[in-house]
């Protein structure tokens, strides 16, 4: 027996909202991949906690992707069990997102210190650790930066201090001696920490807008799922 009257409309809305959730899941997956790709080298030289952020976004997107598919099937088949499971899982995800947002706001000031510490650690290991060396070089080239706060940071590293040099990846002119006796005329003066922060601030509005949109549709999805659950339960006999 089909869900009658207004429940048909609710069923249709649950299906539509689940499709929207599916799109939101795809969007989060895309954002996670983009963040991981764009900040790959910055995350390599940072701590494991910072490196896990794009991965967490990607995993959340995959979870929403599959839960929305589950919800679509439940709404289409008018399965009380599937719709209930969908509503519970979506509620859990919503609460986790709220907790993550609160934690992100509380610990936002620590992000800079964690990133700076990672940059300094990578600089100290420059030349000794090949993957880190390559990561630092690519980071400095991609962001047109040098050092953590500015190019003089490299002068605190013994191997560069004694020769009055910086890595060649700091150069903004293409000469063989651009990194010897460096100055703003030959190398990038700005530090990588500042450049990465600028990139994050530029893109944070996109992430925030997507997150708010997803949260809004999650709330609506939970409400309509509960309405559909009530309609299914009252319209069916338990066999």
Q: Rounded to whole angstroms, how far apart are CA atoms 229 and 234?
A: 9
User: Across the chain, where does the E strand assignment appear?
Assistant: none
Q: Which of 42-46, 163-167, 187-191, 219-223 has the lowest mean pLDDT?
A: 42-46
Closest among 133, 114, 138 to 193, alpha carbons compared: 114
Give yes or no for residue 110 having a pLDDT over 80.
no
What's the whole-number mean pLDDT along residues 5-31?
Answer: 72
Quick one: pLDDT band at residue 154, thresholds 50, 70, 90?
Answer: very high
Q: Global pTM?
A: 0.57
Say what angle helices 6-38 and 80-106 make with each other, to 10 degrees. Answer: 40
> Which residue would you say has higher pLDDT here, 207 or 147?
147
pLDDT (tens digit, 9 = 90+) per residue, 53-77? 667 777 877 887 777 777 777 777 7
Tell me, what's the pLDDT at 48?
46
Domains of the chain: which residue ranges? 6-108+203-235, 111-192
Mean pLDDT (the chain, rounded): 77
Quick one: pLDDT band at residue 187, thresholds 50, 70, 90?
Answer: very high
SS3 track for 107-174: CHHHHHHHHHHHHHHHHHCCCCCHHHHHHHHHHHHHCCCCCCCEHHHHHHCHHHHCCCECCHHHECCC
Tell me, what's the pLDDT at 46?
52
Tell me, what's the pLDDT at 165?
92
CATH 1.10.340.30 for domain 111-192? no
pLDDT (tens digit, 9 = 90+) per residue, 118-136? 888 889 888 888 888 888 8
């Amino acid at each position: 027996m089909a869900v009658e009257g207004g429940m048909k409309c609710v069923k249709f809305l649950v299906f539509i909202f689940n499709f929207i959730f599916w799109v939101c899941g795809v969007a989060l997956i895309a954002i996670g991949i983009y963040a991981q790709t764009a900040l790959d080298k910055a995350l390599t030289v940072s701590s494991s906690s910072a490196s896990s952020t794009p991965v967490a976004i990607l995993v959340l997107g995959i979870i929403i992707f599959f839960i929305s598919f589950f919800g679509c099937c439940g709404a289409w088949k008018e399965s009380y069990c599937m719709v209930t499971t969908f509503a519970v899982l979506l509620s859990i995800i919503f609460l986790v997102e709220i907790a993550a947002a609160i934690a992100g706001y509380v610990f936002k000031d620590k992000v800079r210190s964690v990133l700076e510490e990672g940059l300094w650690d990578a600089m100290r290991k420059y030349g000794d650790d090949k993957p880190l060396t390559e990561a630092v070089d690519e980071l400095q080239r991609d962001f047109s930066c040098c050092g953590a706060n500015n190019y003089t940071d490299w002068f605190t590293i013994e191997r560069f201090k004694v020769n009055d040099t910086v890595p060649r990846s700091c150069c903004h002119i293409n000469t063989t001696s651009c990194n010897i006796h460096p100055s703003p005329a030959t190398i990038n003066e700005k530090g990588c920490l500042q450049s990465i922060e600028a990139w994050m601030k530029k893109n944070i509005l996109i992430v925030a807008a997507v997150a708010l949109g997803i949260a809004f549709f999650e709330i609506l999805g939970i409400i309509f799922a509960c309405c559909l659950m009530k309609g299914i339960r009252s319209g069916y006999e338990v066999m």
